[in-house]
């Protein structure tokens, strides 16, 4: 096999290679092998962009950190906008493309992964990149303002915080900027006019990562035009002016005059540039082209070319400027001709049974490895068999804890395994079995090379046998950011008060910042910032309660009443969970026959949260206890995919699957999705709803009872008496809260001994999830899909011009529009208005009072893009997923609730293109205060995952009602949502026979800490830092926060350092469970609770430690705080080791 790869060095012309048993991981391996032997760059061409991402990740794993430095792996993706679009490609895509072009021009060893679509697009000459580049190095002299001007000229946009490529921010002498070609943004710190330091930092945490000696700053767009080129483009636009495009041309010329650029400029590059080049021209003569599925290339090229020509033909009708497609895209015959002159490998999976000796063909062979899932003995036997054949085995674990678990497991079976350092290369064959950290797409064996790569998670039933509680890191800026003066707050001990701002109070040891809270009668409470975790912004579901009185007893009575109302709920939750744990159901096998086919059919890369949800659902199904799991995720975050994977596992075991949804439209959509994904498998998917005729419904019902229907999707029709199943194995319930009481009772009967998966887009807040720990199986999907763009939200008075612009702009870029008008009687009048405003738009009308067949026909026409606008009522609210719809107009938005508006807005933004939501109201003066606040909240919270923040205002209360019963809103209003969750946690723990200890240690030290306003000027930012300090769960969090703050705001003042140190002392004391710690003069005193410790010799032998009574100690300190702080940390560390766990205490008591 080595001879095959070595022979590529002198390859001339085409060489055809069969791939036998290949998956994405084995293709990645072969590409790395090819790249190592080939002296120049390798360009790999794949039909599907999605596969390229998976192959790229596997290649990086095999190469390791050092290997990738010598042989980089880059992507050259296609633009993520339609041809002739009004939009520019995203900065992430631009960065990848520019990096790949620059690498190819250099001619070194490495791999560029590209799609057929990207390969056929013309590009600007790559020398333009270097001409516009700015090089920076440490110690170099630059003037701040001229450099900012240079960033502006390179199309960078100024922001308060740099989070995305193409942005920059300025804070005094600190400049942050994110060059699209770099993986991380750069932080430049000036000392006068000299660059004092260059570092990259993480865009989410804003934490510094590495020090850089130098950095190249590239344009934030793929093309930056010179004044001469802009003038050339101006003339070309005037020449392209026609009656259909005159309005568009006029607008573009205005943008050029005002800003020197406009959105979508890249798509009109041939009008500005005299010459365009191609990927084939950029690649050096030493390049090797590798084309996968070469036998399909002609068909793919022709399809893409037909699509581009169709877009060019339709562009003038849409008012878009266009030109002959060949000016920006290569015709199929040009691509074939270009490829024919290059050395290339043509890979194909056809002819898998052909002989290796077939003329003109060679073969690369791989074997897929089936998971062992808990069959450790069988795996060890297989491992020994591989080793007897002198095969090198690499077991790949996603994280270190899993690697250690596998190592210990194999050691128990007398198999020694070394764990390689993270980032080690896997290319060199090793004589034995090793463990590596990383993410392998799938296990495979290479019989000709005697190499085996096995995924660790395919050995265990679950990666660690249980679901880990991975709490997301809060982004900088969350927490108290939305707390404003005069807002109601809840203090744990003193009740509801009003936040009046912060106040700095001087005292003997310095000064501290306090929160000022006002209570009934004008009384004020000053809360020190280290107690900030005891305060929450009030959020309730009804009328806000009156202010409490300091020293009064109303607050304690209110808390006790709420706890009493929760005790019954908590008992029921704990009892139900115990009963489910004890009951027996069907245990599915660890590997389903259809798992691979269904996962391969997913057209996107799974997000980390989605992967976790899929994994735990399948693990639940493998247990004998019936699954009852709730999947909560924002709209469009991939909950349906989790249900698809579970359904595949169920029907591969011969079980039936029922998917119950609240609306006929959603049933129809799920039916289409499931049919498409299961069409190549021996599975019958049917729908039962009012969209089907009586005869069709009868056939489905009969097929279910006879076992001929494997998966059925339906509305409440599925719950009627005539429906029975031969062998139901999985019940999927979408948005259960939308079913009526009688339907819920019928669902309960279906649930007996059947695995149940419930999906909801109603956010389940983290506080509620933690409170319900041990009573409900919850999985939260919070990660947005890659390349997903959050919808932009606009609030406006009803405007015919705005409606016209919104519709025509969306149609112009090839998209579709939802227009929501929630009054059936006036839909015809609104249809006439829309036809007048957009005469060329194809408009359909849909509402819930239409006949079933009529409504189905309307939706079918719209989904198949035979119409541009769907004028409808709120029938589209739940679950509809039409990626081509990227604009929604909601008339009289002020009459909708926030949850409903949020669901409606979630119908757009499912594709990679920027979506727009227009909320129209009759007039700002006619809005109620509540309606205005709702709309403002929706407009503010437009980022991805905003559902979980909107919930903080409206939806959390709804989520609590769905989980705990709808009568809870009054209790939540009485104490506020956070306090309600706190009380719920207490009663749940009490129902389980446990206690919640919220006692805080008394801490007295000679120093005080605070955040000076001169260091962090914004009050909201200071409050958020105080909150993060108070809520830290581990000392390492505080250390990391300190580094982050220095990165963002510069050198840390002593008072801020003291604040972090005191936070760490308080946290460590809390973890130890000590009663008090006091430092006065040159003496430190500690008091512990009796019976909770077994004091070790290491603690008792600490220098200067003296008993003052049975549970108190004192020790001498230096009186110098930095030294004393380090000593106290050592004392608390030693004391933590002495603490007896709850389990040990219980054993002692027994």
In angstroms, what is the C-alpha Rg of the chain? 32
Q: Residue 627: which residues within 8 A CB-CB, separation 6 or more?
A: 585, 617, 620, 621, 755, 756, 757, 777
Asked: is 792-943 a CATH 3.30.70.560 domain? The reply is no
Asked if pLDDT for residue 353 goes beyond 50, the answer is no
Residue 71 has a CB neighbour count (10 Å cut-off) of: 20
Q: What is the pLDDT of residue 619?
A: 92
* Cβ-contact 639, 762 below 8 angstroms: no
Q: Which of 754, 752, 747 has its CA nearest to residue 723?
A: 747
Q: Which of 267-281, 369-383, 1014-1028 has the lowest mean pLDDT?
A: 1014-1028
Helix, strand, coil percentages, rounded to 5, for the chain? 45, 20, 35
Q: What is the pLDDT of residue 248?
A: 81
Asked if pLDDT for residue 497 goes beyond 70, the answer is yes
Query: pLDDT category, 1149, cuts 50, 70, 90?
Result: very low
Asked if pLDDT for residue 507 goes beyond 70, the answer is no
Dihedral over alpha carbons 184, 188, 189, 190 (to 10 degrees):
180
Residue 304 has a CB neighbour count (10 Å cut-off) of: 22
Q: What is the per-residue pLDDT across 1030-1073, written as a single tens digit (0 to 9) for each? A: 888 888 889 888 888 887 777 888 888 989 999 999 888 888 87
Asked if pLDDT for residue 260 goes beyond 70, the answer is yes
Asked: is 385-458 a CATH 3.40.190.10 domain? The reply is no
DSSP state of 457: G
Q: What is the per-residue pLDDT across 317-327, written as a single tens digit (0 to 9) for each? A: 777 888 889 99
- Cα–Cα distance for residue pair 377/413, rounded to 1 Å: 8
Q: What is the pLDDT of residue 264?
A: 82
Q: What is the per-residue pLDDT across 943-982, written as a single tens digit (0 to 9) for each? A: 444 444 444 444 444 444 444 544 545 677 788 877 887 8
**Which CATH architecture fits 2-127+275-363?**
3-Layer(aba) Sandwich (3.40)
Q: What is the per-residue pLDDT across 39-60, written as a single tens digit (0 to 9) for each? A: 889 999 998 777 888 899 899 9
Residue 751 has a CB neighbour count (10 Å cut-off) of: 17
Q: Which of 140-149, 665-674, 1082-1091 has the lowest mean pLDDT?
A: 1082-1091
Asked if pLDDT for residue 605 goes beyond 90, the answer is no
State the average pLDDT for the chain.
81
Asked if pLDDT for residue 983 goes beyond 80, the answer is yes
Q: What is the pLDDT of residue 295?
A: 81
Q: What is the pLDDT of residue 713?
A: 95
Asked if pLDDT for residue 397 goes beyond 80, the answer is yes
Q: Which of 659, 920, 686, 943 has its CA nearest to residue 797?
A: 920
Identical fold between 385-458 and 999-1150: no
Q: What is the pLDDT of residue 841?
A: 92
Q: Which of 183-192, 1104-1113, 1135-1144 has the lowest mean pLDDT?
A: 1135-1144
Residues across the chain: 1150
Superfamily holding 134-217 = Penicillin-binding protein 1b domain (3.30.2060.10)
Q: What is the pLDDT of residue 879?
A: 57
Query: pLDDT category, 752, cuts 50, 70, 90?
Result: low
Asked if pLDDT for residue 217 goes beyond 60, the answer is yes
* 685 three-state secondary structure: strand
The ranges assigned to domains in the chain are 2-127+275-363, 134-217, 385-458, 585-761, 792-943, 999-1150
* Mean pLDDT (whole number) for 998-1005: 80
Q: Which of 226-240, 537-551, 660-674 has the lowest mean pLDDT?
A: 537-551
Superfamily holding 999-1150 = Transcription-repair-coupling factor, D7 domain (3.90.1150.50)
Q: Which of 699-708, 837-846, 1069-1078 has the lowest mean pLDDT?
A: 1069-1078
Query: pLDDT category, 788, cuts 50, 70, 90?
Result: low
Q: What is the pLDDT of residue 883?
A: 80
489: left (phi over 0), alpha (psi -120 to 50) or beta: beta
* Mean pLDDT (whole number) for 578-597: 82
Asked if pLDDT for residue 367 goes beyond 90, the answer is no
Q: What is the per-residue pLDDT across 440-492, written as a single tens digit (0 to 9) for each? A: 888 999 988 899 999 988 886 533 333 333 333 333 334 465 677 888 999 99
Q: Which of 394-398, 413-417, 811-815 has the lowest mean pLDDT?
A: 811-815
Q: What is the pLDDT of residue 336?
A: 92
Q: What is the per-residue pLDDT across 629-677, written as a single tens digit (0 to 9) for each? A: 888 887 778 899 999 999 999 999 999 999 999 888 788 889 989 998 9
CATH of domain 585-761: 3.40.50.300
């Amino acid at each position: 096999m080595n001879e095959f790869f070595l022979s590529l060095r002198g390859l001339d012309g085409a060489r055809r290679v069969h791939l036998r048993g290949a998956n994405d991981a084995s293709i990645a391996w072969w590409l790395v092998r090819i790249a190592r032997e080939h002296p120049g760059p390798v360009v790999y061409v794949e039909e599907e962009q999605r596969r390229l991402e998976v192959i790229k990740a596997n290649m990086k794993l095999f190469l390791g950190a050092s290997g990738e430095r010598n042989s980089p792996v880059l992507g050259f993706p296609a633009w993520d906008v339609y041809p002739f679009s009004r939009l520019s490609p995203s900065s992430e895509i631009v960065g990848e493309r520019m990096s790949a072009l620059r690498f190819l021009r250099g001619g070194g060893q490495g791999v560029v992964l590209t799609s057929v679509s990207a390969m056929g697009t013309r590009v600007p000459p790559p020398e333009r990149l270097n001409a516009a580049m700015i090089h920076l190095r440490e110690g170099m002299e630059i003037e701040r303002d001229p450099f900012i001007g240079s960033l502006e000229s390179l199309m960078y946009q100024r922001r308060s915080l740099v989070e995305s490529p193409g942005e920059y921010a300025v804070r005094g002498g600190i400049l942050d900027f994110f060059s699209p070609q770099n993986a991380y943004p750069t932080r430049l710190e000036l000392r006068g006019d000299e660059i004092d330091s260059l570092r990259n930092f993480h865009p989410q945490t804003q934490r510094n990562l590495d020090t850089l000696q130098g950095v190249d700053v590239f344009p934030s767009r793929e093309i930056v035009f010179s004044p001469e080129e802009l003038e050339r483009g101006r003339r070309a636009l005037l020449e392209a002016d026609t009656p259909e495009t005159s309005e568009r041309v006029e607008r573009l010329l205005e943008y050029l005059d005002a800003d020197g650029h406009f959105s979508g400029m890249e798509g009109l590059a041939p009008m500005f540039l005299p010459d365009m080049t191609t990927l084939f021209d950029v690649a050096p003569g030493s390049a090797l082209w590798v084309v996968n599925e070469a036998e399909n290339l002609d068909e793919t090229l022709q399809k893409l070319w037909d699509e581009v020509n169709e877009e060019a033909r339709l562009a003038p009708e849409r008012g878009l400027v266009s030109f002959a497609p060949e000016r920006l895209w290569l015709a199929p015959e040009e691509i074939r001709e270009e490829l024919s002159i290059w050395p290339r490998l043509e890979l194909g999976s056809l002819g898998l049974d052909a002989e290796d000796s077939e003329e003109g063909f060679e073969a690369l062979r791989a074997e897929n490895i089936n998971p062992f899932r808990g069959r450790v003995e069988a795996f060890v036997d297989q491992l020994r068999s591989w080793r007897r054949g002198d095969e090198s085995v690499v077991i790949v674990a996603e994280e270190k804890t899993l690697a250690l678990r596998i190592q210990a497991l194999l050691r128990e079976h007398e198999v020694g395994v070394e764990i390689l350092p993270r980032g080690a290369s896997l290319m060199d064959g090793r004589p034995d079995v090793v463990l590596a950290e990383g993410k392998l797409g799938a296990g495979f064996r290479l019989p000709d090379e005697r190499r085996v790569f096995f995924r660790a998670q395919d050995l265990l039933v679950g990666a660690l046998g249980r679901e880990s509680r991975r709490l997301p890191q809060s982004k900088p800026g969350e927490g108290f950011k939305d707390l404003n003066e005069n807002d109601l707050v809840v203090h744990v001990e003193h009740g509801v008060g009003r936040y009046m701002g912060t106040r700095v109070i001087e005292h003997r040891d310095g000064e501290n910042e306090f929160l000022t809270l006002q209570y009934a009668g004008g009384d004020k409470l000053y809360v020190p910032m280290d107690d900030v975790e005891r305060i929450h912004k009030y959020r309730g579901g009804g009328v806000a309660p009156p202010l409490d009185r300091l020293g009064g007893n109303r607050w304690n009575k209110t808390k006790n009443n709420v706890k009493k109302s929760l005790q019954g709920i908590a008992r029921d939750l704990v009892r139900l969970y115990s009963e489910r744990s004890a009951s027996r159901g069907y245990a599915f096998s660890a590997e389903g026959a259809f798992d691979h086919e269904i996962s391969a059919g997913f057209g996107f890369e799974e997000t980390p949260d989605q992967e976790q949800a899929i994994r735990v659902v399948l693990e639940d199904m493998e247990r004998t206890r019936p699954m009852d799991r709730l999947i909560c995720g924002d709209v469009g975050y991939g909950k349906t995919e989790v249900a698809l994977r579970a359904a595949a596992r169920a029907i591969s075991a011969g079980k039936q699957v029922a998917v119950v949804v609240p609306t006929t439209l959603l049933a129809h959509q799920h039916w289409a999705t499931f049919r498409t994904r299961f069409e190549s498998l021996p599975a019958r998917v049917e729908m039962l709803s009012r969209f089907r005729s009586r005869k069709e419904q009868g056939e489905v019902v009969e097929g279910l009872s006879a076992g001929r229907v494997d998966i059925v999707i339906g509305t409440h029709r599925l719950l009627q008496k005539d429906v029975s199943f031969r062998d139901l194995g999985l019940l999927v319930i979408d948005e259960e809260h939308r079913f009526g009481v009688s339907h819920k009772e019928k669902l309960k009967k279906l649930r007996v001994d059947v695995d149940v998966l419930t999906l909801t887009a109603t956010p389940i807040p983290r506080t509620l999830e933690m409170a319900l720990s041990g009573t409900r199986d919850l999985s939260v999907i919070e990660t947005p899909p890659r390349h997903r763009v959050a919808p932009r939200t606009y609030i406006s008075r009803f405007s015919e011009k705005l409606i016209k612009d919104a519709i025509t702009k969306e149609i112009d870029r090839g998209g579709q529009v939802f227009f929501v008008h929630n009054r059936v009687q006036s839909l015809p009048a609104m249809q006439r208005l829309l036809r007048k405003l957009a005469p060329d738009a194809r408009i359909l009308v849909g509402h819930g009072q239409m006949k079933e067949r009529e409504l189905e026909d309307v939706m079918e026409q719209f989904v198949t893009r035979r119409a541009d606008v769907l004028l409808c009522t709120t029938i589209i609210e739940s679950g509809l997923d039409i990626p081509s719809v990227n604009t929604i107009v909601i008339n009289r938005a002020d009459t909708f609730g926030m949850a409903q508006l949020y669901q409606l807005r979630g119908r757009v933004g499912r594709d990679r293109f920027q979506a727009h939501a227009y909320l129209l109201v009759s007039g700002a003066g006619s809005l109620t205060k509540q309606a205005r606040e709702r709309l403002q909240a929706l407009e503010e919270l437009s980022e991805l995952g905003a559902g979980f923040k909107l919930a903080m205002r409206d939806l959390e209360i709804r989520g609590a009602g769905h989980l705990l019963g709808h009568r809870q809103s009054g209790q939540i209003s009485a104490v506020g949502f956070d306090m309600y969750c706190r009380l719920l946690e207490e009663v749940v723990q009490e129902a389980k026979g446990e206690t919640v200890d919220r006692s805080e240690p008394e801490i007295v030290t000679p120093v005080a800490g605070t955040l000076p306003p001169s260091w962090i000027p914004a009050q909201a930012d200071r409050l958020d830092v105080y909150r993060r300090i108070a809520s830290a769960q581990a000392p390492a969090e505080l250390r990391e926060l300190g580094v982050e703050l220095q990165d963002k705001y510069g050198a840390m003042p002593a008072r801020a350092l003291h604040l972090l140190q005191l936070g760490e002392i308080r946290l460590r004391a809390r973890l130890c469970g000590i009663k008090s710690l006091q430092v006065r003069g040159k003496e430190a005193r500690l008091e512990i609770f009796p019976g909770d410790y077994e004091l070790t010799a290491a603690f008792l032998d600490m220098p200067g430690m003296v008993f003052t009574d049975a549970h108190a100690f004192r020790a001498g300190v230096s009186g110098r705080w930095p030294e004393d702080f380090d000593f106290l940390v050592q004392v608390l560390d030693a004391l933590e080791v002495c603490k007896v766990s709850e389990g040990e205490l219980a054993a002692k008591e027994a």
